[in-house]
A and B are shown apart, each in its own frame.
Chain A
Amino acid sequence: MSIAEEQDQRGGVTIARLLMSFGPLLFLAALVIVFTVLKPSFIDPINLFNITRQISITGLIALGMTFVILTAGIDLSVGSLLAFCGMVAAVVAKGGAANTLSLSTSGTQGYGWFAALLAAVIVGAAAGGVQGLAITRLKVPPFVVTLGGLTVFRGLTLTISNGGPISGFDASMRWFGTGLIGPVPVPAIIFAIAAILCHIVLRYTRYGRAVYAVGGNAEAARLSGLRVDRILVSVYVIVGFFAGLAAFVLSARLNSSEAVAGIGYELTVISAVVIGGTSLFGGIGSVGGTVVGAALIGVLQNGLQFNNVSSYTQSIVIGLILILAVAFDRWLKSRVRR
């Protein structure tokens, strides 16, 4: 490339560069405006907080998925893992797998919400770690390992629960799904805190730098002294942790852990990350983008529902948006590169 072209890149296409950073955000703003015009009650704080509650489950997993995709990996098992961790949390919370709907805490021999939360995130992180080891040690591509995981974790879930749900948690646990702090739903607060922490980790720590480096060029990362395999394992641990956390919040919200929970979540989660501008080839992306991506999907779903669009049609729209978002990103990049 000539010097002139380099200069051209810096001077002439700043707008494209700006769009690249803020494109998804602008699109989100546009959607909010459109839905508000269609139905002014869309902008009601109650509805908006509703949306934050809706996006927080997949949003939490999407935070973890951002780490994975930044390393050019993928995790298809998160939906199944969520169901599995939810079931583990339920068993711990209730002290057994019996499906007893008892809303009172007395009389059950459960271990309480904290033990349930701990169990969910530990099992999630461990399951992620096992998949990470399979990827790095056995040299099986992440797509295949986690595709296997998708089936395995679903099977484990059904085995524990015998196919049914485990329901009825005590009020202290349910608060994490249904509670409010002021007007803000607790799941949204959990999501917000987690997002800020993830942002800090990726943006300001040496670990974050290493994740980008491994995703940007694994061979160069190795020759620069990074322990590439360890970092790869760690990102699957992180996404597993978040699947466990999301499972806990979801079970608390529904007052039940369903064996069929989380089916198809992997697609929503990956969509959120990709719409948010993270490259599936690794090395490019941010937590901020993922939050916007998750919000975009949430607003779209809620807004369409608000206007009585069927969930079937919603699927079609979200799928098309995903493709358009990536196409737009590509187009901007090609403009910037030329």
Chain B
Amino acid sequence: MPAEAALLAVESITKHFSGVTALSDVSLDIHPGEILGLLGENGAGKSTLLKILSGVMPPSSGRIIFDGADYAPSSPQDAKRLGIVTIYQELSLIPTLTVAENIFIGRAPVGSLGLVNWRRMEASSRDIIARVGLSIDPMTPVSALSVAEQQLVEIARALSLQSRLIIMDEPTSALTETEVQRLLSIMDRLRQDKVAIMFVTHRLEEASAICDRMTVLRDGRLAGHLDRDKGRPIQLPRIIEKMVGRAASELYARPAQRAVAGDIVLSVRGLRTVRDPEAPHAIVLDGVDIDVKAGEILGVAGLVGSGRTELARAIFGADRIAAGTITLGGKQIAPASPADAIALGIGLVPEDRKHQAIFAALGILPNFSVASLGHFSNGFGFMAERRERDALSGFRKMLSIRMASAEQAIEGLSGGNQQKVILARWLARDPKVLIVDEPTRGVDVGAKAEVHQILVQLAARGIAVMMISSELPEVLAVSDRIVTMRRGRITGEMPGVEANEEKLMELMALDSQDALGRDAEGQAR
């Protein structure tokens, strides 16, 4: 890197938690005007490192130098004062206050009487948010902003605090493709302004597109640093290899093509929904036709806002249907609630695991059996715990769920293992149709392949699997047949073997040439 001194230098940091080593001898550095990617699977030590840098806790040993001086923040506030701001996934804005109030929280400009000078606050806020390309009224309450806009407000606030280093923890996980592009271009602008950015992410494509360098952690140790190769983006296989310690080709390896000759199990015709005033952001389905056969995996590819999740929810009885028919095993059905759909033999692994699938504080056992309480209880309503435990341990083996005990709280498991418990929840019901929505979101790279294998196994057992995903490599890796969605409609269909990313992307984003062009750029290797 340039001869310029590093803004932040982490020198062989180690962190123990009562005897257990979470971080071991990790070093990295970051220069002004540089975007450093921090990558690693869950459990690699990223969050521990983040906590140390943001002042949540001190390292057990090692040294951090920031701007030429020893850096040992006593609290997150202290870190901020020193010029390092961390922007977490869970945004820290106060939703009921305005953008301006949030930016100036705790330091509002006051007039001679000690009262807030609103005019000045509004004007300065306008300048501050313009720096991140926002043109909203600073007097808008934050709750009225999209997640992406809120994130930009946080970045704007960080800049107004004269931050020299901004740490972004998974900033793109809740953004649409267009919003991601906007965020990346703002990061690029900040880079030109000599701000240093540490970009923590699971999304390798984005990291590859924007990062100057990457530091990869694995099992609490430094797996390596990656540099751009003559200015070209760091390539995904290199990153993946560092992250998992084996070659990327094993990860998205397409399973051998299976002969699928099943009957149509689920058939949807002319499915329409209407706008629900309680969920104004949901996409309206506009005449969707879809068939899923026994033993096949139907991949449903669509960008955020294409209606893919709404399709799943409508079939599952979670959202109201305005028109159209759903046929299951030759019989027309009209599930009015998830309970109805489940009783008919449909299962859904929802996209937002934390809010829609797991019972965080409860043990693995109740999380597993919640959808089949009838099956695991006797005629008097008492749980047949022996049977329940036996079933769980069967699935534990079958899906290789790594857990300590059936009583362990599910939130202690990694994302991949949580997802396996949710899959087991549905398998216990032996469903005819299993809908999985973003099955590997928040799942480690290594565990992704395992989840894919499981889906293939399930299809092989004759279950009709419908897999919704925005990750094209994933769709391509496991689907026997692929349909694409855009704006509440099906825009195309093709056998999995004939599909490739370009074809799918075209069908998913046809009417927005702009997004397509930019995406093609992002995909360039």
Give chain B's interface residues, CB within 8 Å of chain A.
17-23, 42-45, 47-48, 219-220, 316, 318, 337-339, 341-343, 348, 350, 355-362, 366, 369-371, 373-374, 376-377, 381-383, 385, 404, 412, 414, 425
Contacts and interface: CB of A to CB of B under 8 A. Distances in A.
A219 B338 CA distance: 11
Contacts of A205: 377, 381-383
Contacts of A11: 18-20
A216 B18 contact: no
Contacts of A210: 370, 373
Given A2-B45, A6-B412, 5 more contacts: A4-B45, A7-B20, A204-B383, A213-B359, A220-B357
Contacts of B374: 206
B47 A1 contact: yes
A226 interface: yes
A246 B59 CA distance: 56
Residue picked from A5, A222, A226, most chain B C-beta under 10 Å: A5
A258 B221 CA distance: 71
Nearest to A9: B412
A224 B361 contact: no
A5 B22 contact: yes
Q: Nearest 10 CB-CB pairs, A to B?
A: A216-B359, A4-B22, A8-B17, A225-B342, A12-B18, A206-B373, A3-B43, A206-B377, A4-B20, A225-B339
A226 B370 contact: yes
29 contacts: A2-B23, A2-B44, A2-B220, A3-B219, A4-B17, A4-B22, A4-B48, A5-B20, A8-B20, A10-B404, A11-B19, A12-B20, A206-B374, A209-B383, A213-B362, A213-B366, A216-B360, A216-B362, A219-B356, A220-B357, A220-B358, A221-B359, A223-B338, A223-B356, A225-B338, A225-B343, A225-B371, A227-B339, A283-B362
A223 B357 contact: yes
A204 B358 CA distance: 21
Contacts of B316: 223
Contact of A2 (B48, B318, B360, B361): B48
B358 A217 contact: yes
Contact of A204 (B23, B343, B355, B382): B382
A185 B451 CA distance: 59
Interface in A172-226: 204-207, 209-210, 212-213, 216-217, 219-226
B15 to A, nearest CB: 8
A10 B405 CA distance: 11
Contacts of A223: 316, 318, 338, 348, 350, 356-357
Contacts of A9: 412
B43 A2 contact: yes
Residue picked from B17, B316, B342, B369, most chain A C-beta under 10 Å: B17
A201 to B, nearest CB: 9
Interface in A43-83: none
Contact of A283 (B45, B357, B361, B373): B361
Nearest to B349: A223
A284 interface: yes
A222 B355 CA distance: 12
Residue picked from A1, A213, A223, most chain B C-beta under 10 Å: A223
B355 A213 contact: no
A333 to B, nearest CB: 10
A128 to B, nearest CB: 20
Contacts of B362: 212-213, 216, 283
Contacts of A6: 43, 412
Contact of A206 (B23, B42, B360, B381): B381
B64 to A, nearest CB: 19
Contact of B17 (A5, A219, A220, A279): A5
Contacts of B369: 209
A224 B426 CA distance: 9
Contacts of B45: 2, 4
A205 B382 CA distance: 4
A284 B361 contact: yes
A209 B359 CA distance: 11
Contacts of A4: 17, 20-22, 43, 45, 48, 220
B425 A224 contact: yes
Nearest to B369: A209
B360 A217 contact: yes
Nearest to B219: A3
A224 B17 contact: no
A219 B337 CA distance: 12
Nearest to A203: B383
Contact of A222 (B21, B338, B383): B338
B366 A212 contact: yes
Given A3-B43, A4-B220, A224 B360 contact: no
B448 to A, nearest CB: 17
A279 B360 CA distance: 14
A177 to B, nearest CB: 32
A204 B378 CA distance: 11
Contacts of A221: 359, 370
A24 B376 CA distance: 33
Residue picked from B48, B316, B366, most chain A C-beta under 10 Å: B366
A11 B412 CA distance: 13
Contacts of B370: 209-210, 213, 220-221, 224, 226
B22 A2 contact: yes
Contacts of A5: 17, 20, 22, 48
Contacts of A279: 361
A223 B425 CA distance: 12
Contacts of A284: 361
A192 B387 CA distance: 30
A279 B19 CA distance: 31
Residue picked from B20, B45, B356, B381, most chain A C-beta under 10 Å: B20
B359 A217 contact: yes
A212 to B, nearest CB: 6
A283 B339 CA distance: 21
Nearest to B217: A2
